[in-house]
Structure 1
Amino acid sequence: MKKLVLVSLGVLVMLFTFCQSQPKQTEVLHSEQFNAGKFHNKKQFENMGLADLPAYIHRYFSEKRVDISPEKPIPVQQITQQVLATLPENSFTLFRLGHSSFLIKVKQAYWLIDPVFSERASPFSFMGPKRFHETPIDIEALPDIEGVIISHNHYDHLDKAAIKALNGKVGKYVVPLALGNDLRDWGVAADNIIELDWWQSAQVGELSLTSTPAQHFSGRGLSDGNKTLWSSWVIKNQDNSLFYSGDSGYFDGFAEIGKQYGPFDLTIIETGAYDKDWPDVHMTPEQSLQAHLDVRGGKMLPAHNGTFDLAFHPWHEPFERIVDLAKQFQVDIITPIVGEPIDIKENNSRVAWWRGLN
């Protein structure tokens, strides 16, 4: 009985990031996306809610699942001070830290995207999706960080413990509208936070950062659904261009982003945690590849996979499907080992490291 209760609580944790409730009163924000106390997608659709909980729990216990997690250790390359010191001075290099977290070096400055270092993507330390692998570098070992880019406030993208640990090491946090409220509550100085609406831009050091649309939602509990905005990001300097999708269902906004800001040297596109029960807020691999084409991407790096169990599909399925699709459509796809340095313009890793782990 105890195990059943714990599993049921675990299901509730998973639903924390899918359930929405009536928001409390909030200040009016001057944004086309903000109305009646919360943010909205351009397309209206029904998202999962508490009324769907019984059916979800039934599916959770009754549906047969295979390869929920890897049986053998996922390969990880440690990011050491020596590795960082040997990077070319003028390069645009990124390291995948796991899931949708990245460390980027732009010339002499370092950036983080959606840094999640905690063991679980959950409001609790003892339950919820647990990491398949360690991060390739600890927060204490990170160099000073010029900026942190956040796509939205779900637990697998916004890690409260990491934000607190990073405080004092980071120059600027560039986030979607209203997400700064969370950061200020966690001790980040207001002057260090830049909040952007869709299509707004900011220049921080070498980088031009533009918040672009995504089709998703936000919330860290049962009372704050869509109280903060969610974004994809255009990240550019004079010589390089990167698109990061954040979390998103497939929508016509990708084509508009490509029209205004493409082409991109590299796209980091969500490719994982898709399911028939939430088709509007996450993409299938087929849709992920189309999003890459829509934004006019060069190389594609599939993210949002390989670190947490967040859906019903096998943990390795997103990799296999997207690699097969890339061959069919002649898309240059890269699949770096966690911690491997990737130069945004150079020939990169295509090793199928996930094979043979189950």
Structure 2
Amino acid sequence: MTRRFTRMMVITLVVVALLTATLFALLRLPVFGTDPTGARLERIQKSAHYRDNSFQNREETSVEGKESTALKLLSGYWNRSAENEPKQPLPSVRTDLNTLPDAQPTLVWFGHSSYLLRHNGFTLLMDPVFGGNAAPVSFFGKSFAGSDAYSPADMPDIDVLVLSHDHYDHFDYTTIKALIPKVKQFVVALGVGAHLEHWGVPANRITELDWFETTTVQDGIRLTATPARHFSGRALARGRTLWASYVLQLPGYRLFLGGDSGYDKTFAQLGAQYGPFDLAILECGQYNELWPDIHMFPEEVVQAGQDLNAKAIVPVHWGKFALAYHAWTEPVERFTKRAQAAGMPFATPQIGQPIVLGQPLPQSAWWRTVGTGPAQ
């Protein structure tokens, strides 16, 4: 009996050792990026928003809500909406991104939180994810059929690529690698530059911003990193890099580029400090009562736009990945209902459909035509 027990213990230890070695080997793959070190880490440690070896939110924030448990999370997954993913490919509009009109700011959404902005010859690309999934492995977090209508090859030359944080649904290794030759400058939250350098981006093409820091990207064009209520991390540790939203100042226009964020009083503070905004692009989707602090519910998105003194809202963070349990159309349905009741102008474009400030905002409920047939 003792001999058998000893043998089982040895086998168990060997299996654990092999699994541990495999895990550490996987974590060394480039897709995971790397932690900040050296001068970058020293700068991080001096940030007012960094303590206890992690960046902190301005308000008490839990990645999992107080009512969240592993059992509830698992139950939520197995009981997710039957309409969690569309049953038909999503429609899209094919737009030549090299010939966009740009006398007024023009925005093209690519699904989820990826979009391109063009104005007077200046081109900005936000959180591009064109790799087909929102995870370090190809079999998880797959994009919806039809949502990958655009690829890095379709992108024009980019003056500035902006990243809100380092989660996989906003910061994709294969996309970044493909875009490096097209991008003049990367503007990212503090610490995210470590991943970019690890992937081959020259240090002199990376600008890292702490909250409330500003960089001038061209004459008359400025980006200011502003707080968001979220978290970061691509491997086991959280909070090694910062997460952010941004204020984009263009000649004659001001836009709010919202990263992932739960609702809090920060939106009103930013509205008072930087508003009004001609347009606020706000995350709307992948929410749940089990993680209420880190993503906004659709009704809160409308309130955040009002707090920001925004003239109009584009809801993003939906329409490409199922990262929560709700129906894939629920975010935009709830958002538009509340926005209409509140008298808040909004745009709900198809993937690839341009939004031109100063012209009528696209508001067709195109998603209602999707999902009536058998699963693809």
Give the one of 177, 182, 195 matched to 2:190: 177
Residue 53 of structure 2, aligned match among 16, 28, 37:
37
1:92 paired to 2:92: no
Q: What is the CA-CA distance between 1:89 and the residue it aligns to?
A: 4.5
Find the counterpart in structure 1 of residue 18 from structure 2.
none
TM-score when normalising by structure 1? 0.88
CA distance in structure 2 between the aligned counterparts of 1:164 and 1:116, rounded to whole angstroms: 11
1:10-57 alpha-carbon deviations (Å, 9 max, x no partner): xxxxxx9xxxxxx999545221101121100011233239x9434422
Deviation per CA, 1:259-278, whole angstroms, max 9, x where unpaired? 11101111111111110110
Instruction: Tell me which amino acid in the other structure corresponds to 1:175.
Output: V
Give the ranges of 4+ consecutive aligned residues of structure 1 lying more than 6 Å apart after TM superposition: none
**Is residue 90 of structure 2 the alignment partner of residue 113 of structure 1?**
no
* Counterpart position of 1:13: none
State the match for 2:358 in structure 1.
345
Match of 2:180 in 1: 167
Greater alpha carbon shift after TM alignment, 36-45 vs 180-189: 36-45
Partner letter of residue 218 of structure 1? S
Work out the percentage of aligned pairs sharing the same amino acid: 39
1:60 alignment partner, one of 58, 68, 77? 77
The TM-score, its normalising length taken from structure 2, stands at: 0.84
- 1:1-358 mapped onto 2 (5 Å cutoff): 27=42, 29-48=45-64, 52-61=69-78, 63-80=79-96, 84-85=98-99, 87-205=100-218, 206-222=220-236, 224-358=237-371
SS of residue paired to 2:339: helix
Q: Point out the structure with the larger helix share.
A: 2
Deviation at 1:138, TM superposition (A): 2.2
Describe the shift of the 1:186–1:349 C-alpha distance in structure 2 as closer, same or farther (beyond 3 A).
Answer: same
* Partner Cα separation in structure 1 for residue 167 and residue 362 of structure 2: 29
Query: Any conservation in 2 of the 1:335–1:350 contact (CA below 8 Å)?
Result: yes
Within 1, Cα distance between the matches of 2:334 and 2:102?
36
Question: Relative to structure 1, is the Cα distance of residues 312 and 166 closer, same or farther in structure 2, using a 3 angstrom cutoff?
Answer: same
Q: 1 CA distance for matches of 2:351 and 2:161?
A: 19
Aligned length: 331
One-letter amino acid of the counterpart of residue 329, structure 1: A
How far apart, in 1, do the equivalents of 2:358 and 2:128 lie?
23
Q: Which amino acid is 1:31 matched to? A: S
What's the counterpart of residue 15 of structure 2?
none
- Alignment check: 8 A CA contact 1:96 1:339 kept: yes
| d(CA) in 2 for partners of 1:243, 1:232 | 8
- Gap runs ≥5 in structure 1: 1-15, 17-22
